[in-house]
Amino acid sequence: MNNNNESGAALLSELSQPVSQAEWRRVSAIAILYFAVAALRFFASQLVYLIPPAILLFNRIKDNPGMALGMLSALLLMIVAVAILKFYYFQYRLSAGTVEIRSGVISKKYLNLPFNRIQNIKLEQPVFYRPADYVCLQLDTAGSVHQEAKLVALSRPFAEALKQHILDLREPASECPQTTDSVQQTAVLADSAERLLNQRSLADLVIHGISNNRIWLFLGLAAPFYNQVAEHGLDLLLQAGIDLPALFDPTEQSWFVIGLYALSLTMFIMLLFTVFSVLGSVLTFYGYTLHKKQDNYIRRSGLLTRHEVSMRLSRLQWVALKRDWLDMLLGRVNLSLAQINGQQQVNAEQRIMVPSVTLAEARNLLNDACADNHLNQITFNRISRRFIWRCVLLYWLPVAVIMPLLLWTQQHLLLAWLSVIPLTFWAVLIVMRWYRYGIAQDEQYCYVRRGYFGVDYYCFANYKLQQVVFKQSWLMRRAGLCSVKLVMASGVLEIPFLNDITGRTLLERGLYQLQRSKKAWM
């Protein structure tokens, strides 16, 4: 049933017929080889676990090679059988706008993938497909990290024609803005020049380095070398006439002097860390500019390697304005424009982040990305105080009782008293977490607030929602509370202990906006 050698025209006629008339097809028989190799790879990856017992049983295998050979040939036979069965049960059907795949020997899978949801098409050619020029056609959507659909053995002309057909279906849509009337066309032309939205000076980057300590990353990486660095450092200090161990020896110095030394040493180390952090910030963000050209954001930065990242406005999922406690003191905000976070995972360098902008600049950038947003005026719905009680009773209280008691029974009285400090800090953190949580919604946007001492704001259009979850435990139901989870392509935002009417209204309005607007999420 090998039908892969049709011309593009035959394919097109097939792609115009409705599902009911389309025929189920098998891929080329060479797919058996493909499945066999896949099965072999699977067994080979499992073989790693068999190496230790094989070494242990090596002598027995040497004495009885027949049995080992028998087992090996049984394994090979099984691989062949699996490959043939997989090939037999792998069927696909192409019809107007959809590809369907039936697969699986024991566990059956039936996949429907509309062409207009395909984000990425990839042709892959393993070595053994080359002589006969067969290819694997991979079709990805934004649905998950794995390849959603893989047509495993198609002849190249057939695969190319299918790929072109799917791409052609997408073309008219992307050309849509250009085919508008002449007034809009001139507007597009006028807008085609790059417009500078924001740039960062060296002073801004120094502030960013101070408030966003990148040193922890550096310290983590350097952990294996601490000992050598310490020894080397002590030698260097000795040569400079400073004997650290002597300075901190309680037999030679008074406690007060040692305290002063410790304080100045800590300050010195902190200063060193901050300098490193500032250097890191300058290295990454030197010459930072954010431009807008038509609907594209373009970020350029970097001292040694210049990075240029661009993103279409329609790909934007949410705008996050993040401030930690130091940013609050310095009056700065880190603004990031988040896009899809699935299979097209973007690493830190490709993310569009505007480091340490002032509040006014952040507001302007936000207004540019989310026109008519009301983040500054809107009143946030707070979450219930029960959030504090839950955290305290479930986590804080057990630790607060057990830890000092344990220290007390083991005669560490001072430590037992000192444990009050971290416990108090933890309690304050819980209260601050409750204080910061908030959610608000208007006709177009949804706003989420959260944080501890600092505060993060998220702003996104209601129609960017992918899925909503309403959660309620038995106790929450009695108290009229709920948790809501807003799933988007860039991540998940969860608000716990919200009034249940507020929660329901929020989800209902979000769904209504998304279903009513019929706008695409990217």
Partner 1 sequence: MSSADGFSNIQLPAAQITPLHALQLEPLAGRYRVLRQGVNALVFAGFWLLLLLLWWQPWWPLPSHLQQVIRHALWLVPVLGVVRAIYCWQADKHKHFALREHDISYSAGIFFRQMVTQPVVRVQHIELKQGPLERKASLARLQLFSAGGALHTFEIPGLWLTQAQQIRQFVLQHKDALQDEQQQ
For partner 1, the binding residues (CB under 8 A) are 97-98, 106-114, 116-117, 141-146, 148-149, 169-170, 173-174, 176, 314, 340-342, 465-474, 477, 487-489, 492, 504, 507-508, 511, 514-515, 518-522
Supply 176's token pair: 């849509």
**In the complex, what is the shortest distance from the CB of residue 108 to partner 1, in angstroms, rounded to a whole number?**
4
Q: CB-wise, 111 or 237, nearer to partner 1? A: 111
Angstrom CA distances, 279 to 157, 208, 261, 272, stand at 54, 10, 27, 11
- Closer residue to partner 1 in complex, CB, 148/361: 148
- The position carrying tokens 């004495």 is 63
CB of 53 to partner 1, least distance (A): 19
Select 141 or 444, whichever has its Cβ closest to partner 1: 141
- Please check whether residue 440 is in contact with residue 447, taking contact to mean a CB–CB distance below 8 angstroms: yes
Closer residue to partner 1 (CB): 228 or 345: 345
Which tokens is 277 given? 């952090």
CB of 404 to partner 1, least distance (A): 32
- 323 beta partners: 455
C-beta closer to partner 1: residue 39 or 142: 142
Q: How far is CA 160 from CA 11, 14, 124, 126, 135, in A?
A: 11, 15, 12, 16, 9
Nearest distance, CB of residue 114 and partner 1, angstroms: 7
Encoded tokens for 121: 């098409």
Q: Among residues 184 and 314, whose Cβ is nearest to partner 1? A: 314
Q: Which is nearer to partner 1, 137 or 205 (CB)?
A: 137
From its phi and psi, is residue 241 left (phi > 0), alpha (psi between -120 and 50) or beta?
left
Q: How far is the CB of 2 from partner 1 (least distance, A)?
A: 26
By beta-carbon proximity to partner 1, the closer residue of 107 and 305 is: 107
Q: In a 3-state reduction of DSSP, which class is residue 101?
A: strand
The distance of closest approach from Cβ of residue 119 to partner 1 in the complex, given in angstroms and rounded to an integer, is 9
Residue with Cβ nearer partner 1 (95 or 199) = 95
Question: Shortest gap between Cβ of 233 and partner 1 (angstroms)?
Answer: 45
Q: Report the interhelical angle of 8-15 vs 156-175 (nearest 10°).
A: 60
Q: Name the minimum Å distance from CB 101 to partner 1.
A: 9
- Per the listing, tokens 């899925």 go with 467
Candidates 506, 498, 484; CA nearest to 382 is 498
Task: Please report the beta strands in 339-431, taking only residues with DSSP state E, as ranges in sequence order.
Answer: 352-358, 381-382
Residue (346 or 415) nearer to partner 1, CB: 346
Give 424 or 515: the residue with its C-beta nearer to partner 1.
Answer: 515
Q: How many CB atoms lie within 10 A of CB 193?
A: 10
Look up residue 430 and give its amino acid. Answer: I
Gap between the Cα atoms of 335 and 347, Å rounded: 16
Q: Smallest distance from the beta carbon of 117 to partner 1, in angstroms?
A: 5
CB atoms within 10 A of CB 471: 12
260-292 core/surface letters (b: 16 or more CB in 10 A; e: else)? eeeeeeeeeeeeebbebbbbbbbbbbeebebbb
Question: 354: exposed, middle or buried (C-beta count within 10 Å: 0-12, 13-18, 19+)?
Answer: buried
Distance of CA 74 to the CA centre of its chain: 43
Please report the DSSP string for 399-448 in residue order: HHHHHHHHHHHTT-HHHHHHTHHHHHHHHHHHHHHHHH-EEEE-SSEEEE
Q: Min. distance of Cβ 387 from partner 1 in angstroms?
A: 16
Residue 341 or 350 with smaller CB distance to partner 1: 341
β-pair type (195-199, 149-155): unpaired
Question: Rounded to whole angstroms, how far apart are CA atoms 101 and 3?
Answer: 16
Closest-CA residue to 355 (of 461, 277, 269): 277
End-to-end CA distance of the chain: 40
User: Nearest approach, Cβ of 167 to partner 1 (angstroms)?
Assistant: 12
Q: Least CB distance from residue 468 to partner 1, whole Å?
A: 5
DSSP reduced 3-state for 7: coil
